[in-house]
Chains A and B, each alone.
Chain A
Amino acid sequence: MSLIKVENLKVHFPVRGGVFQTVKDHVRAVDGVSFSIEQGQTYGLVGESGSGKTTTGRAIIGLNDITSGKVMFEGKDLSSVSKKEYIDVRKDIQMIFQDPFSSLNPKKRVADIVAEPLRNYENLSPKEERIRIQELMELVGLSPEAIYKYPHEFSGGQRQRIGIARAIALNPKLIIADEPVSALDVSVQAQVLNFMREIQKELNLTYLFISHDLGIIRHMCDHIGIMYKGRYVEEGTSEEIFTNPQHIYTKRLIAAIPDSNPRNREMHYENRKLVKSEYDKLEKDFFDEKGLPFSLKSISATHQVALPERG
């Protein structure tokens, strides 16, 4: 059984207007997304800004209300469990945020930041708590003495690791990482990514990894889902998506990644032009009247593509 299964998830935000602020319309931020993640795997959610990838992550963890659809975590439907049960489940799902500069309270010491989830869920004596925090700090590679410092005393990469320490404090099963490295410099990025992979092995963690950077997604993820305007355009294993993309949108996304070999520059440029012209030619076939992708069709056991209705 998969650890988490999302079925036809929809998150719509009302648009209000007029004199009485009545609901005029809805923004369909997430519009029918389904996927599942196996224990210990990393699932990548890719898309451009506004595609709904962050909203999907936030809906799973309960930061955005679900309009319809199901989120099954270990077989339990999160949208229908009682509040008490939900609090229990919520312990197993944690989040790492994008910006390590705004996701840590500047007025709190690191010890209090990392202890917050522990204080919410576990009845530890102050001494036990301190020991646990120091363990966590060591686990994320920061010196245990640093727990009495404030967030501003740390560099970006270190802060992101404090965020990770907070996320793993309760031994969660699933971690939702929303663009965990996009605010960091390349060298620090490498540090955080390596570290995330290390603790994944150590603690048997499952990641939902949200990013717009396909290079990082390829590096980290086993399975990938590509979102466009709140819907999926393609889903498959990392290998399938990168070596055999089927949807024109995926092709374009992959063609847009800069090639790190300057000798391929011309070829890459020509290829990008070719893909762009193909995209323009086929755009009407691959998207419906509203410009939304069609529903997914399986083309192999793991590979699904939003192909046009008429084959």
Chain B
Amino acid sequence: MSEVLLDIKNLKTSFRIKDDYYAAVDNVSLIVKKNEVLAIVGESGSGKSAFAFSIMGLHTRAKIEGEINYKGNNLVQASPNQMKKLRGNEMGMIFQDALSALNPLMVVGAQIDEAIFLHNPKSSKSLRKKQVINLLNQVGIPRPEKTYDQYPHELSGGMRQRIVIAMAISNQPELLIADEPTTALDVTIQSQILDLIKELKETIHAGIILITHDLGVVAEMADRVAVMYAGQIVEIADVYTLMENPQHPYTRSLLNSIPTLNDVKEDLHVIEGVVPSLQNLPRTGCRFASRIPWIKDSVHEASPELHEISSGHYVRCTCYKDFYFPEQAEEECNYVAN
């Protein structure tokens, strides 16, 4: 059993809308171990990015409750100064959009240099330059000396994302949060970046939180997966269990709605309705109930909890036991009729 790096308990991040607080992240508890990739999956609006920002302390106006225990310190209570020391040093973040994450007026080498300098003000300039070149090498940039003096706009999307990764790992972070690191990239570049993150994991032994909506990326990268819906974790399990034996209706619907390369030309599963907005979210009962209206109300719990159904596999609400797809029901009816 490897060491626990991050232990989050009942994290609740609320935003103020018209004099009222609404929780975008609602009672999320999970742990991240050293040297593992935890993927967080969900649609837009499920609170996955709000969750990542809470860990990094990047929310300015949100109300954050609960505990984020990082190596024995509760980050929720940490002062802005303490957070500043952690961010970019022990905790690195890779953002989705590399172009807006980089300063357009600074050469990329200087930006990475800055990240190192801020946390080691005593290091010498020449040493830092060497470090930056090493980092650029590490993230697979072909001519690091030349790239050092280039501006972000001179680089391609994949290269920019590599720079952002180099910045994130510049101080050997122990926790790396990647928020949709490949969503803006082409498939070939995506596979390169994912392979790079995988290789980096082997060398820096960091715990990685990978936020994505792409289940293919999850299958390629993750050790464990947490599925988020409307601010809550609805299912959490190791990647094999989750992909092969998903239980929660939302997880099953998601897996059914992506076209795979093997079964072609069949209709995809459609999840009815939309993710409710923060203000319209039902605060009691199963939050997914409105999207599976063919399931009887009686099978949902009044206040759904996460249940451990096998070792390390948690599912929220009891509705998973009675869940079926409407298509399935039709087939069964036909079968009986024949």
Contacts and interface: CB of A to CB of B under 8 A. Distances in A.
A126 interface: no
Nearest to B43: A185
B258 A259 contact: no
A213 B239 CA distance: 23
Contacts of A191: 270-271
Nearest to A192: B270
Contact of B258 (A212, A256, A260, A269): A260
Given A185-B44, A215-B258, A257-B187, A265 B265 contact: no
A155 interface: yes
A93 B153 CA distance: 37
A189 B187 CA distance: 18
Given A219-B264, A259-B216, A260-B219, A186 B191 contact: no
A308 to B, nearest CB: 21
A190 B239 contact: no
Contacts of B243: 260-262
Interface string B245-284: 0000000011001111100110111110011000000000
B195 interface: yes
B154 interface: no
Interface string B154-193: 0001000000000000000000000000000011111100
B264 A218 contact: yes
Contact of A218 (B188, B253, B261): B261
Contact of B270 (A194, A255, A261, A262): A194
Given A186-B257, A190-B257, A190-B270, A262 B213 contact: no
Interface in B282-302: none
A255 B187 CA distance: 9
A238 B248 CA distance: 34
A53 to B, nearest CB: 12
A235 B316 CA distance: 47
B202 interface: no
A193 B259 contact: yes
B257 A256 contact: no
For chain A, which range describes its interface: under 10, 10 to 19, 20 to 34, or 35 or more residues? 35 or more
B97 interface: no
A257 B182 CA distance: 12
Nearest to B240: A262
B332 interface: no
B217 interface: yes
B149 interface: no
A263 B240 contact: yes
B216 A257 contact: yes
Interface in A66-86: none
A190 B269 contact: yes
For chain B, which range describes its interface: under 10, 10 to 19, 20 to 34, or 35 or more residues? 35 or more
Contacts of A216: 259
A253 B215 contact: no
Nearest to B291: A187
Contacts of A268: 220
Q: Which of A189, A256, A259 has the most CB of B within 10 A?
A: A256
Q: Which of A185, A213, A253 has the most CB of B within 10 A?
A: A185
B114 interface: no
A262 B259 contact: no
Interface in A20-52: 48-49
B220 A219 contact: no
Contact of A258 (B44, B214, B268): B214
Interface in A181-228: 185-191, 193-194, 197, 212-216, 218-219
Contacts of A188: 274
Contacts of A257: 187, 216, 261
Q: Which of B216, B258, B268 has the most CB of A within 10 A?
A: B268
A229 B239 CA distance: 37
Interface string A231-248: 000000010001000000
Given A191-B270, A194-B270, A258 B220 contact: yes
A253 B269 contact: no
A253 B187 contact: yes
Contacts of A193: 259, 268
B186 A48 contact: yes
Contact of A255 (B191, B216, B220, B274): B191
Contacts of A297: none
A272 interface: yes
Contacts of A242: 261
A185 B254 CA distance: 10
A252 interface: yes
Given A186-B43, A272-B191, A212 B261 contact: no
Nearest to A279: B188
Given A185-B44, A260-B219, A214 B187 contact: yes
Contact of B187 (A155, A186, A212): A212
23 contacts: A48-B187, A185-B43, A186-B258, A189-B257, A190-B269, A190-B270, A193-B259, A194-B268, A212-B187, A215-B258, A215-B259, A215-B260, A215-B261, A253-B187, A255-B191, A256-B190, A256-B191, A258-B194, A258-B220, A260-B219, A261-B243, A262-B222, A269-B198
Interface of B: 43-44, 157, 186-191, 194-195, 198, 213-220, 222, 239-240, 243, 253-254, 257-261, 264-265, 267-271, 274-275
Interface of A: 48-49, 155, 157, 185-191, 193-194, 197, 212-216, 218-219, 238, 242, 252-253, 255-263, 265, 268-269, 272
Shortest beta-carbon contacts, A-B, top 10 = A258-B216, A219-B259, A190-B268, A187-B271, A190-B257, A256-B191, A48-B186, A185-B43, A256-B187, A191-B270
